[in-house]
Amino acid sequence: MKLGDLSVGYLLSLRDAILRMGLDPAPLFGRFRITDALLAQPHARISIPRFMRLGNAAIRYTREPAIGLLMGQCSRISHLGLSGMAAQCAPNLGAAFSTMIEFELLGSQNYRGHSSFEPPALRFYSISPYNMFNLFVVDSALAARAQVGRDLTGGKAQLREVHIEFPAPPYAARYEPFFGCPVHFEQPHNQLVWEPRSLDLPLAQSAAPTHAHLRELCAQRLNELTRHRGLRERVEALIAPQLDSQPPSLAQAAYELGLPAWTLRRRLYHEAGTSYQQIIDEMRRNLAITYIRDTEMALGEIAFLLGFSAPEAFQRAFKRWTGTAPGSYRKTVIAEGIKE
């Protein structure tokens, strides 16, 4: 199981931010096999771990720890593709945000959770615990949404405050000048809290017929992406956001899927050759390997993310799954250069 992926359109703001600093993004992008041909492909995606490694490398390359905020300044609604164009034609800012969230899967997918819009708060889901590999992801996501909100309304939309889950980083003083409002760290959610009246502001490019047409195209594309999703994938989508705490029971999952529990049990056996508990165990195993291989998270952090009561329990489980202790597995991966 992968952590997720996102459209290469998100790399356009990183490229532009590096150019604004007077640097050439080509050497950095070349190291990660990001070519002009890839950036031109309409449905090309990169994995979240690859994006995180690219961002971390960009911070070292530019010596700019706040590069995520600079990416936000370079973000444009067109970087979001079809869903961005649909949002641009919405009647007001609130409808634009609703469109962006409804069709978020067209541009990005995080298998552990998703963004949401609970007016006046526009929330962004990120993997935690936080480290140098994902601070910039939150920075860039919130900054991009703030920039888009201003652009869509001709600079009229105003933020009331910004909430960020992680503790204030060394460059914390950079946040409030960018967002133009109080920024609070160590909060329950990553979110932009807009002035309610800003959500009613009309958009400069509002066009009801075009908005309706583009929403139809978004719905068609979303259906193409999800219609072949099997029962197992649907079960995994229910489990993943709660894997770090208490996954839903078989009965709860069946209820969410609109099935009797015995039917879900039977169909998983006949259609996927597995059981509900096996799916949970295999998700933990596959995510553990992904975290160890694709991130630099500490083993204790990984154990927390996967719902283990203690790092020791996670280490025993990992050795049972792979025959190797997690620390030894990571050293082998690094030594052999097994990278995406």
Q: Are residues 152 and 259 in the same domain?
A: no
Find, among 230, 167, 159, 169, the residue nearest to 196 by Cα.
Answer: 159
Q: What is the pTM of this model?
A: 0.79
Which mean pLDDT values do the consecutive 10-residue runs of the chain (340 residues) have? 81 97 96 93 88 91 96 95 96 98 91 88 84 86 97 97 96 97 96 98 96 97 81 85 83 92 92 89 87 80 84 90 90 65
* Total number of domains constituting the chain: 2
Q: Are residues 190 and 257 in the same domain?
A: no
C-alpha distances in Å from residue 124, one per residue of 87, 141, 158: 17, 7, 18
Q: Are residues 141 and 78 in the same domain?
A: yes
Q: Of 224, 239, 269, which residue constitutes the final position of a domain?
A: 224
Q: Are residues 49 and 196 in the same domain?
A: yes
Q: Are residues 215 and 303 in the same domain?
A: no
Q: Are residues 269 and 297 in the same domain?
A: yes
What does the pLDDT read at residue 87?
Answer: 98
Q: Are residues 96 and 8 in the same domain?
A: yes
Region of 337 (left: φ > 0; alpha: ψ -120 to 50; beta: rest) is left
Beta carbons of 261 and 250 less than 8 angstroms apart: yes
Where in the sequence is the domain holding 315, given as residue range(s)? 231-336
Q: Of 161, 191, 224, which residue constitutes the final position of a domain?
A: 224
Q: Are residues 205 and 115 in the same domain?
A: yes
What does the pLDDT read at residue 2?
Answer: 62
- How far is Cα 166 from Cα 229, in angstroms, rounded to an integer? 34
What does the pLDDT read at residue 18?
Answer: 97
Q: Are residues 201 and 245 in the same domain?
A: no
Q: What is the DSSP string of 66-105?
A: THHHHHHHH--GGGGTHHHHHHHTSSBHHHHHHHHHHTGG
Q: Of 195, 224, 253, which residue constitutes the final position of a domain?
A: 224
Q: Are residues 159 and 308 in the same domain?
A: no
Q: Are residues 328 and 204 in the same domain?
A: no
- Cα dihedral across residues 134, 136, 138, 141: positive or negative: negative
CA 186 to chain centre: 19
Q: Which two tokens stand for residue 327?
A: 């620390």
